[in-house]
Amino acid sequence: MPKALAFSGSHLLGEAIRATQRVKFQVRQNYLSHRVASSGFLGSVLPLVQQNRQRHPTMWKSHIGDCPATGWHPRLPFGMKWLLMLGLPVLPLSLMAESGSTILLWPDGAPGAQGSGEKDKPSLTIYLPPAEQATGAAMVICPGGGYVRLAPHEGEHYARWLNELGIAGFVLRYRLGSDGYRHPDMLHDAARAVRWVRAHAAQYRLDPHRIGIMGSSAGGHLASTLLTRFDPGRPEASDPVERVSSRPDLGILCYPVILMTGPYAHRGSRESLLGPNASEEAAMAVSSDRHVRPDTPPCFLWHTAEDKGVPLENSVAFAEALRQAGVPFELHIFEKGPHGIGLGSREWDPQQRHPWTTICAHWLRQRGFAHSTEVLAPNQPARP
């Protein structure tokens, strides 16, 4: 194994290049563990280099090597190679290009997949805030839609709003009952989403201890299910993503479906989640208020009294369960607003924001997720 190279500021660039030309750049696991670790930037950029190589093969030259982790020796593009070897601060293009992209949660196929279509491939669409505004916090977002469809204004719009607060948004496309899937397939998708973001925290410059989950309506039910049924991961798993915890660090539940039995249950979500002939016992098993425990993460809940689709008793039941378990929470009931209101309207319009967004932003600041001061959305007038 070649000795690690160190260059002082007094070395000439030409001398550095000539010296590095004598070193075969080998990506071995032990090399990563104690030599690359001496350069925190280089250690964090290697996963990005691998992704960039896969997406832009014409920019790379490679040959099969003996690296047990990757099976190849990377040769970096010329400019980046020397800058990295010299330890100079370089922002990889692959990092800047990630915002707005979509990744599959299981590239080789989701467990229990019934086909190979888009509906069978749960994914995350990534929305990153500007680097100068990023707080390092992230939110997995579960759009609503009764486990039949996914509402765009409860996905992308939430992500863009969170970006204004400096929070990265990861919109989850989970499998649906209308496509033949049943519980716990959707829970597996949500758990995998939180694990995936946590496992890739360094790549996106995120804090793995500030990853929340957010959901509306049936998406709120999915979020509440994970908030009460997370697990620590499996250290022995061959898949690195499966080794990390699926526990969110906080939850935001917007007019959520919680109850699957009784007069306030949402029958449509129940049927899509469990099937048309599910027993009362099965329905009680997915009523999230019954599974709150002391280590359930802190939650922010809101509902409206005018909601005819999902009665506010759903949020009240979950809040009461949180109180009984000693879990920190906030519950806000507003008089006005129909079901599915999202940020305030189904169109992207910062001037029509519902008051819950301001209150929730304050809560997120208290929790260390959002900016300490408000960042106005584009074209949003300053408040008097």
Q: Give me the count of residues in the chain.
A: 384
Write down the pLDDT at residue 98: 61
3-state DSSP assignment of residue 189: helix
Q: Which residues contact 72 (CB under 8 A, 6 or more apart)?
A: 27, 62, 63, 64, 65
**pLDDT digits (tens), the chain, 384 positions:** 433 333 334 333 444 444 444 433 333 333 333 333 333 434 444 444 455 445 444 433 333 333 333 333 333 333 444 334 444 334 443 444 467 899 999 999 999 999 999 999 999 999 999 999 999 999 999 999 999 999 999 999 999 999 999 999 999 999 999 999 999 999 999 999 999 999 999 999 999 999 999 999 999 999 999 999 999 999 999 999 999 999 999 999 999 999 999 999 999 999 999 999 999 999 999 999 999 999 999 999 999 999 999 999 999 999 999 999 999 999 999 999 999 999 999 999 999 999 999 999 999 999 999 988 655 455 444 333
Q: What is the DSSP letter of 38?
A: G
Q: Which CATH number fits domain 99-366: 3.30.70.3270, 3.40.50.1820, 3.30.450.20, 3.40.50.1370?
A: 3.40.50.1820
- Is the backbone peptide bond immediately before 381 cis, with ω within 30 degrees of 0? no
For every residue of 214-241, DSSP letters joined together read: EEETHHHHHHHHHHHS-----TT-SSGG
Write down the pLDDT at residue 42: 41
Name the residue ranges covered by the structural domains of the chain: 13-95, 99-366
Write down the pLDDT at residue 99: 74
Contact, 282 vs 274, CB < 8 A?
Answer: yes
Contact, 205 vs 40, CB < 8 A?
Answer: no
Write down the pLDDT at residue 210: 98
**Which residues make beta-bridge pairs with 303?**
333
Q: Rounded to 5 degrees, what are φ and ψ at 73?
A: -105, 115
Write down the pLDDT at residue 66: 35
**Number of alpha carbons in the 13 Å side-chain half-sphere of residue 154:** 26
Q: Would you tell me the crossing angle of helices 218-228 and 185-199 to the nearest 10 degrees?
A: 70
Structure tokens at 222: 């999915």
Write down the pLDDT at residue 2: 39
Write down the pLDDT at residue 44: 43
Write down the pLDDT at residue 117: 97
Q: How far apart are CA 152 and CA 143, in angstroms?
A: 7
Write down the pLDDT at residue 310: 98
